Amino acid sequence: MAYLALALGLALPWMLGFALLCACDWPAGSAVTERGAAGGTALRLGYGYIVGLLLLTLWMRVLSFAGISLGRLSIGVPLLALAAALLAWARRRQRIPLQALRAAPRVLLAPPLSGWQRVAWRLLSCWLALRFALLAAEVAWRPLYPWNAWVEWATKARVWYELGRIVPFVNADAWLAGAGAAGAYFDASPNYPATVPLLQVWSCIALGRWDDSAMNWPWPLMLLALSLCVYGALRDAGLPLLGALVGAYLVASLPLLDVHVALAGYADLMMACVYTLSALAFYRWTLDRDRRDAALALLLALACPLIELPGVIWAATLLPGAVIALLPRQGPRLVALGFGVAALVLLFLAQSSPLILGHSLHVDFEPPWRSLAEAYFLFANWHLLWYAVAALSIIGARRLARPPLVALTAVVVSGLAFLGVVFTLTNLAAWMADFTAVNRATLHLAPLLVMLCVLLWRELSQARPAAVAPVALATADA
């Protein structure tokens, strides 16, 4: 019964997020039917889980702030009632595509493909299913791994689960000065956001006991949701069935992404999911100008700082793309000028080693470019991703600089610039010695980078660029 309760607890945020997206009719009904039933359903299911997780943790914050103990009834019953009400309202408004939901399993099991494509579809589907099963087994069998997940995140989860509420964590000096007697606790990173520990708290509450293995079940579900979103976004962008599945495979097979599922408990996987989904919703908005896409992209971007402290910067990397989307003619010049000015300002500030967000800027005599290149091109964390990025960037430079990819390109370039500045112009360059920090930070951008490569490959394989994006951008500019 305990594991049945855990399964229901894991399903609750999925149901809540799916119900909210159905009530908002996102993605639009026409997109669900015209661009593929399986693709539209995959988008709702994938986005639904991530949105549901965020709503769940926000509700837990509200309960703790109100002085209500965290429990199955206080958390689960209101959210379940809200999900049921949203589904009932969406059903009355005919915003639940039942036909598309029924068609999705048929597409998965018997896709409308023939010959080698059908064989490739089945092989890739079986591989993905096996991969998810193996990762789920790792989560089920492995206790919490004694590293950052053990000393920075799970400490908060254990305390908040036992007390039934969120209590503050402080640094060592404050704790030794007597904050502990006032009800504060101490761990290695007391200022980290509460979202990830709250997910672990809810898993244990649903299970009915503290379990440092079972509390990490949201992690394989995050990877599943991310894969569904990638498949749905690629189908929505016009890729064929097999091409969209290959894109999902490329994301799900990234070695470091899988490591963060198997060694569950870090915030990096959720950061990658939220940031990638925000950027993909933004990309949909640049094509169709649907306000719901813009609202979803904005809400997910605002949620980035609730997961990790650098989330503020990752959310800001969407701004150059937004400038280009809103100002198709002048936007690229403004963004290029902004990058140039920012580079000059950083180089000027780095002469005096100022502190920015707790890290000092400093121009080293020998920046660790070699270590950065080794982390991306020589190790096995990314397969051949960076080789593909280099080759496609050279071959498809013109396509990247014009619609429909130019706005998304600006977002990715901003993310790469952020990583370059952090690991070459700040004191974090010292962390390049063991290559861990740079790869974990790159994980936030990697799924979106894969998506851009797949979309660029589609553009290069076409006789001419898709016409829908320039029309949409020209209309917005007018």
pLDDT, tens only, 419-449: 988 877 766 666 666 678 889 999 999 999 9
pLDDT of residue 431: 61
Q: Tell me if 395 is assigned to some domain.
A: yes
Q: Are residues 340 and 465 in the same domain?
A: yes
Q: Are residues 332 and 454 in the same domain?
A: yes
Q: Tokens for 398?
A: 């013109």
pLDDT of residue 365: 55
Segment 255-262 mean pLDDT: 94
Q: Which domain holds residue 435?
A: 311-477
pLDDT of residue 96: 79
Global model pTM greater than 0.75: yes
Characterise 367 by phi-psi region: left (phi > 0), alpha (psi -120 to 50), beta (else).
Answer: beta
User: What is d(CA 403, CA 328) in angstroms, rounded to the nearest whole number?
Assistant: 9
Segment 29-42 mean pLDDT: 61
Q: Is 75 in contact with 59 (CB distance < 8 Å)? A: yes
User: What is d(CA 208, CA 6) in angstroms, rounded to the nearest whole number?
Assistant: 8
Tens digits of per-residue pLDDT, 345-386?
777 766 676 666 666 666 665 667 777 888 899 888 898 999
Q: Is the dihedral of CA 147, 149, 152, 154 positive or negative?
A: negative
Beta bridge mates, 361: 426
User: What is d(CA 324, CA 408) in angstroms, rounded to the nearest whole number?
Assistant: 9
Q: Tell me if 413 is assigned to some domain.
A: yes
Listed residues 212, 236, 259: the one ending a domain: 212
User: What is d(CA 331, CA 316) in angstroms, rounded to the nearest whole number?
Assistant: 16
Q: Is the pLDDT of residue 467 over 80?
A: no
Q: Tell me if 366 is assigned to some domain.
A: yes
User: What is d(CA 163, CA 175) in angstroms, rounded to the nearest whole number?
Assistant: 18
Number of structural domains in the chain: 2
Q: Is the pLDDT of residue 131 over 70?
A: yes
Give the percent of the chain with pLDDT over 90: 65
Listed residues 175, 195, 212: the one ending a domain: 212
Segment 60-78 mean pLDDT: 96
Quickly count helices (H) and strands (E) in the chain: 25, 4
pLDDT of residue 464: 54
pLDDT of residue 475: 40
Segment 241-258 mean pLDDT: 95
Segment 177-190 mean pLDDT: 83
**Which of 5-9, 16-20, 26-30 bottoms out in mean pLDDT, i.e. has the lowest?**
26-30
pLDDT of residue 342: 83
Listed residues 194, 212, 230: the one ending a domain: 212
Segment 42-56 mean pLDDT: 96
Omega of the bond leading into 255 within 30 degrees of 0 (cis): no
Q: Is 215 exposed, middle or buried (0-12, 13-18, 19+ CB in 10 A)?
A: buried
Query: Residue 237, SS3?
Result: coil
Q: Tokens for 436?
A: 């861990």
Q: Is the pLDDT of residue 473 over 60?
A: no
Q: Are residues 321 and 450 in the same domain?
A: yes
pLDDT of residue 143: 87
**Which of 288-297, 398-407, 469-478 bottoms out in mean pLDDT, i.e. has the lowest?**
469-478
pLDDT of residue 265: 93
Q: Is the pLDDT of residue 477 over 50?
A: no
Tens digits of per-residue pLDDT, 204-220?
999 999 999 999 999 99
pLDDT of residue 434: 66
Q: Are residues 327 and 205 in the same domain?
A: no
Q: Are residues 187 and 320 in the same domain?
A: no
Which of 86-95, 311-320, 341-350, 464-473 ranks highest by mean pLDDT?
A: 311-320
Q: Are residues 192 and 333 in the same domain?
A: no
Q: Tell me if 204 is assigned to some domain.
A: yes
Q: Are residues 201 and 342 in the same domain?
A: no
Q: Tell me if 183 is assigned to some domain.
A: yes
Q: Are residues 203 and 315 in the same domain?
A: no
Segment 61-79 mean pLDDT: 96
pLDDT of residue 468: 45
Give 234 or 356, the one with higher predicted confidence. 234
Q: Is the pLDDT of residue 418 over 50?
A: yes
Q: Tell me if 107 is assigned to some domain.
A: no
Q: Average per-residue pLDDT in the chain?
A: 88
Largest CA distance in the chain: 72
Q: Tell me if 39 is assigned to some domain.
A: no
Q: Tell me if 190 is assigned to some domain.
A: yes
Q: Are residues 449 and 317 in the same domain?
A: yes
pLDDT of residue 117: 93
User: With bands split at pLDDT 50, 70 and 90, how would you rate the model's confidence at 1?
Assistant: confident
Q: Is the pLDDT of residue 175 over 70?
A: yes
Q: Are residues 204 and 331 in the same domain?
A: no
Q: Are residues 208 and 341 in the same domain?
A: no
Q: Is the pLDDT of residue 43 over 90?
A: yes
Tens digits of per-residue pLDDT, 137-159?
999 998 888 788 989 999 999 99
Q: Are residues 450 and 333 in the same domain?
A: yes
